[in-house]
Structure formats: C-alpha cells, structure tokens
Amino acid sequence: MSKETTDTSAGADQETLTQLQQLELTQRGEQGVAGKIIYWFGILLSLSHIYFNTLGTLSELWVSAIHFGGFGLLCALMVPMKRGKVYSRTVLLADLLIGLLAVGTAAYLMLFENALYDRGVHFISSDWAAALLAIAVALELTRRTTGWFIPVLILIALTYVFWWGKYLGGVFNFPGLSLETLLFRSYFSGEGMFGSIARISWTFVFMFILFGAFLVKSGAGDFIVQLSRSAAGRMVGGPGFVAVFGSGLMGSVSGSSVANTVSTGVITIPMMRKAGFPARFAAGVEAAASTGGQLMPPVMGAGAFIMASYTQISYLEIIAYAALPALLYFMSVAFFVRIEAKRSHAHAVEDDVPPLREVMKGGWHYLLPLAVLVALLIYGFTPTYAAGLSILAVIGASWLSRQPMGPRDICDALAQGAKNMATTAVLLVSIGLIVNVIATTGIGNTFSLMVNTWAGGSLLITIVLVALASLVLGMGLPVTASYIVLGTLSAPALYSLISESHLLQLMMDGTLPEAARTIFLLADPESVTKLAAPMARGDAEALLALVPGDFKTTLLEMALDPRVLSMALLSAHMIIFWLSQDSNVTPPVCLTAFAAAAIAKTPPMATGLTAWKIAKGLYIIPLLFAYTGLIGGSLSEMLTIFVFALVGIYALAGAMEGYLEGPLGILGRLLALVAGLALLWPGLPLLVNIAGLALFAAVFWYSRRQPQPAIA
C-alpha cells in the first residue's frame, strides 16, 4: 500500500474513532488498572472457554452460568454505567460491583443447585435473591450494550407469565405460573438464561469469534484488503468493487457488519471518493456490503449456529446452502457500484494497486486456516473442535510470514476475542429469557396462527408481514436478537406454508401418495377420486382448506419426503435470518450505515437510506428461498436459478437507477423492469426466462449506445 493511501486510511481511522463514539457506547480501553484487568481477565475467559469446548467435563448448566458470570463481569468493566464516565472512579466501582454480582449469582447456582432440589424445589430467601439479582444484572448489562428496548421487552414477557397474562381475553389469555416457578425456569433450569441460546453462545459463537480475532491479529485483515484491491482495483469503479469484495472476504472471517465497516471502510471509502464516487454512495456501498458479512459462510455471525440448533440441520449443510445466495447478494451490491461508476465517471486508482502475484506470494498462508476449517467440517469434526484446531492453524500459518505470532500476539488475540464476545454473550443470555417465555406460554404457535389468519394463507403476504416485523424489531434489536425472536415466533407459520406449497404441487400433479389421500377422507369422501388425477391449483387449495388444522402436520409428514420438509424448515429460517439483517441498513437505527457515514462525513440518515436502497437483495433473495429450489434443489436447479436471478437483479437495479452502461429513458426502465420480472418471477416456463434474458441483453446494448452525460 502506498504512503498516501496509508496516511489517508490512518487519518480516516483517527477521525472515525471519535465519531463512532456517537454511535456506540463508550468503552474502556486498555489504559489504567481497569484496562489491565480487562486484558488479563479476557485472556483467562478465552482460555477457560477453549477448555470447556475441548476437554471440559462440567455440566452444560454450570458452564452456561460461568459464561454469564465471566462475561458479565467483563462487560460491566468494559461498558460503563453512564456514557462519558469512562474514567470516573465512582462509576468504575459501581460497574465492578455489578460485575461481581454476575459472578456471584453464577457461583450461587453452582454451589446451591443440589440443595434446592433436596428441598423439593422450594425457594428460600437466598434463592429468591440470587434469581432476581441474576435477571436484574442481565437486564442492566443488556441496557448498556443495546439500549432500553430489549430489557423492556424481557420485563413485559416475564410479567406476562405470572401477572397480567391471565387478564387478557382470547388466544393470548395465559392462566399464569407462580413467580417462584418462573424464576426457577429462568435461572435454575436449563431453559431460561442458561438454556439452549446460552449453550450456543459459549460453544459455536465464542469459538468462531475467537477464531476471527486470531485471524485479524495475524494480519489476515490487511491481506484481505490488499487481495481485494489487486483483484478489482483496476476495474472501472474498482474501489467500489474492492469494498464489495473485501467486505465479503472479511465477513467470512468476522461475521460482524460493524467490524467489517470500520476495518475495511477506512480504506475503501476514501478510495471510492478519490475515484469519483459520491461520498454518500461510497458510505452506502460499504454499509450494504458489510451487511453481507452476516450472510457469508463460513461464520455468518451467530445466526448459522442458532439456525443449526433450531432446525437440527448440520452447520456444514447450512453454510453449503448459504454460499450461492450470499454470492448473489454481493453481486447485487456490485451491480449498483457498476451503474454508479458509469454514471459518475468513477475511474480506477491505478497508481497503487498491488499486483495479484505479489499479494498472493506474501500472504497465501492466510488462506490456510480457512482451508483447515472447511476441511475439518467436511471431515466430520464439530464446529467447536474445527474452530479450535483452526486457531492453532492461524498461529502455525503466521510462522510462514515475516511477522510470526509470538506469545504477546497470542495473548492479544485471546483478550480481543473475549472483548469482542462480551456484549454478544450478555445479549444472548438475556434473550434466553424471552425464548423461555415463548416456549412456556406457547405464544409462538399462537403468533404463527395469527400470521396465517392475517395473511389468509398467502405465503407472499406472510413474508411481507415478517419483513415488516423485522423492520420494527430491527429498530430496537441487534440482528442476532431480532432473528431469535422472529425465528421463534414466525418460523412455524413460514414452514407450514412452504411445506403446503410442495403438497399442493403433488395434488396438482396427481402424484399424492396413497397413504396421504386417506387424510382427505375426513373432509371429503369423494376426495380419493379427485386426487387420483391432476387438478387445478384452485381445486387443490379448496380441498386442502377442508382438512382440519390438527391433521395438517400428519398430512405433510405422510405426503412429503423428510428431506423436503427439512429443506422447507431451513428455507423458513433462512428467510427470517436474511430479513433480520435489514436493521443494519434501515433507518432510524442502522449502526452499520452510521459507522460508514462517520467515515465518509455524510448525514447518517441519508446514508442509511442509500444503504437500504443498495441492499435490496435482502428482500429479493428471500422470495427465491420461498418459491424456488435455491435451497434444497438439485445442483443444476440451484445454478440455473442463480444465473437467471443474477441477471434479473441487475435488470431491476437498472430499472431503479435509470442507468446501465448509459442512461435509460422511461421506456428503457420499463423494459428493464419487465426483463427483471421475467427472470426472477418463480414458476415461469424456461422460454419466458430466456426471453427475459434476451430482453435485458437488448436493453443493455441500447444503454451502451447512449451518449454519456457530462459531469457538472
């Protein structure tokens, strides 16, 4: 990298450090006594969690409690109780007290769990105090890191169970549990704070966040940026493609959109502005591209691990099906970059683009840990063991470079991994309280039935409702929390409708299995004769509507292959997971876009709107999950859908922007829109897709023939 680029990046980074304080809670660094405690305690936490995930034999409940206590203390020390009070001794002492309470409540559970069961699960005063303090500490730490929305939501959920739920009428009436029972399920059992979400947190999520910290410390982040610049830097609009490519690669390491934005944006945004891109567009591209870090295998943030837990589908299979859609998303962002590059006459920065051969020669070893990770997963290792061995591979690979990782670097990576995990750990433990309430009350099934009723059985309307819900939740919830809540509430409705679409196809084709036809006898004695031959979709829907709701699950299991049902469940969760990402780029709360705006010095809200427009793939691609075989289809089917969708999204981007290689008039935009719909609309004959492809080619050729407008 040239000195000029380095100076620009350093300057942007310095300005960003101050401006991002307006976006995130001020955290204590490594200065002073508190900083040293955070550093060394972070190392201890990382080492203990490596032990728990490899050689440890403690019960999962105890490890979950230790996870909360340890990261609760670390989070309390890192994030002060009040903004701007980083160096206040009084605030530090209060933070230390709250952190020690987290440790104390975890220790109490481990020391007195057996005594509680010996008493027949009857609380004494200390049990009440420990349970209430644990929940209060979790709520306070969550408030510090994410704001008031989640703590208030948790309080509403908890009080619904033991207090005001019994006063509601209709489907939301809940007889209620005693406060003692609620606290037991929330704190002492493996269902609430220390349930499945906490287990995911201290296993998969922590190990991969630590893996990312080691990769970044080894220098892989710089290599990724340099590789992106050498691969795309000399193209028309190259710096924009560097942002897309670099964020995609960085996302496979960190799985964090804000981390992507800050680490790559300080380089790519100044480069894009220098090349001629508008500042707001440059920030929007970086935010939209960095959002894809949550979608790009192999890490995918915490969502892939939670999805594996919910669906009981292997993590390896999930990331395999996630690869093509993630690539499709990044290409959709790249199309906007290409269009804006042609419109703004943005050129490549050719003077300091490193040769690809030199970049690979100096950094090929950074790819070894990722190769080891994928190989171990394919070979059958669990994700936690694969991540642990891959961390060792990072250290080993660093010795092939000019700056091998020594003991100090390893300690720095261990400490940074724990610091990166602190807020996520507290959040996931707290979200476990909401998940427990949903499971206890059955409100998830109630919500799914309500969504079905509101949507009138329409899969498209259901997806729109989920998208709206994700938009509202995303204003107050981080991505992971939004996915957990929506996945728990909405996945059953989506799964049912996607499965029923497969069932309807069998009925329309006249290929419904004999065993499944008997279910229809309960609704229509003449149905067996009707189902023996192909039928129109309307007739199939009318016949299916007659089947009692209690029998539909049995009908689906009898009619459809278990593999089809499994892929329907994965599609439902993937839809929700993708839609939950829009909180990164959707105003009024879009931290990723705000971080990019701080670097580009552009208005945060306007930047958020630009990022939201560029990230339209977040809404288009989930429709393909629902209506096509992009997930679960044969390889040829998935590739065919991918190719047509790729061109279709480019056509829609051209229609939205009124520009491709040159300006499009009203007619050109309409034709591009028609071509995009012909390529993306599910269920159309192949000839229609090919006609859409030809139409887009004609519009593209037409745009190239148009005179380029001058830049004022």
pLDDT tens track for 430-450: 999 998 998 888 887 777 778
Over the range 302-328, which residues count as b (16 or more CB within 10 Å of their CB) and which as e? Answer: bbbbbbbbbbebebbebbebbebbbbb
pLDDT at 253: 67
Give the pLDDT mean for 588-614. Answer: 86
pLDDT at 209: 87
Mean per-residue pLDDT for 549-569?
Answer: 89
| Rounded-to-integer distance, Cα 661 and Cα 382, Å | 47
Higher pLDDT, 419 or 4: 419
Determine what percent of the chain is predicted with pLDDT higher than 70.
Answer: 91
pLDDT of residue 394: 93
Structure-token pair, residue 321: 């099906």
DSSP state of 659: B
Query: Comparing 133 with 144, which gets the higher pLDDT?
Result: 133
User: What is the band of 304 on the pLDDT scale with cuts at 50, 70, 90?
Assistant: confident
Per residue in 662-691, pLDDT tens? 999 899 999 999 999 999 998 899 999 999
Q: pLDDT digits over 95-127, tens only?
A: 999 999 999 999 999 999 999 999 888 999 999
Which pLDDT belongs to residue 1? 43
Mean pLDDT score, 547-562: 86
Residue 232 pLDDT exceeds 70:
no
How sure is the predictor about 234, in pLDDT bands with cuts at 50, 70 and 90?
Answer: low
The domain limits of the chain are 31-194, 442-584, 634-712
Average pLDDT over residues 30-53: 90
**Range from 394-403, 416-425, 451-460, 615-624 carrying the lowest mean pLDDT:** 451-460
Q: Of the given ranges (14-23, 51-60, 325-334, 622-631), which has the lowest mean pLDDT?
A: 14-23
Residue of 389, 354, 343 whose CA lies nearest to 370: 389
Burial of 476: CB neighbours in 10 Å, binned 0-12, 13-18, 19+: middle
What tens digit of pLDDT does each residue of 650-669 get?
A: 999 999 999 998 999 899 99
pLDDT for position 21: 42
- Of the pLDDT bands very low, low, confident and very high (cuts 50, 70, 90), residue 23 is very low
| Among 74-88, 489-503, 603-617, the least confident range | 74-88
pTM of this prediction exceeds 0.85: no
Q: What is the DSSP string of 67-109?
A: HHHHHHHHHHHHS-SSTT-TT-HHHHHHHHHHHHHHHHHHHHH
Higher-confidence residue of 193 and 173: namely: 193
pLDDT top residue among 179 and 442: 179
pLDDT for 468 equals: 83
Report how far residue 467's alpha carbon sits from residue 464's, in angstroms, rounded to the nearest whole number: 5
Cβ neighbours of 709 (radius 10 Å): 11
Q: What number of CA atoms fall less than 13 Å from residue 356's CA on the CB side? A: 6
CA 593, 591, 598: angle at the middle one, nearest 5? 55
pLDDT of residue 410: 95
Average pLDDT, the chain: 86
Instruction: Say which residue, 333 or 474, is predicted with more confidence.
Output: 333
Among the residue ranges 293-297, 577-581, 617-621, the one predicted with the least confidence is 293-297
Band of pLDDT at residue 647, cut at 50, 70 and 90: very high
> 3 is written with which tokens?
């000195």
Please indicate whether residue 650 or residue 16 has the higher confidence score (pLDDT).
650
Q: In this structure, which long-range contacts are made by residues 113-117, counting pairs with CB atoms below 8 Å and at least 24 apart in sequence?
A: 113/61, 113/188, 116/188
**pLDDT for residue 622 is more than 60:** yes
- The mean pLDDT value for 512-516 works out to 85
Is it the case that residue 206 has pLDDT exceeding 70? yes
Cβ(426)–Cβ(141) below 8 Å: yes
Residue 25's pLDDT band (boundaries 50, 70, 90)?
A: very low
Backbone angles phi, psi at 463, to 5 degrees: -65, -40
Lowest mean pLDDT, pick from 23-27, 132-136, 677-681: 23-27
In the predicted structure, residue 701 carries a pLDDT above the cut 90: yes
- Residues in the chain, total: 712
Rounded to the nearest 10 degrees, what angle do helices 407-441 and 60-78 cross at?
Answer: 110
pLDDT band of residue 254 (cuts 50, 70, 90) is low
Res 620: pLDDT? 94
pLDDT of residue 3: 43
- What is the pLDDT at residue 631? 94
Asked if residue 41 lies in contact with residue 73, where contact means CB atoms within 8 angstroms, the answer is yes
Q: Would you state the pLDDT for residue 233?
A: 61
Looking from the CA of 504 toward its CB, the CA atoms found within 13 Å total 20
pLDDT at 31: 66
pLDDT at position 563 over 90: yes
Q: What percent of the chain has pLDDT over 90?
A: 44
| Residue 237 in this model has a pLDDT that exceeds 80 | no
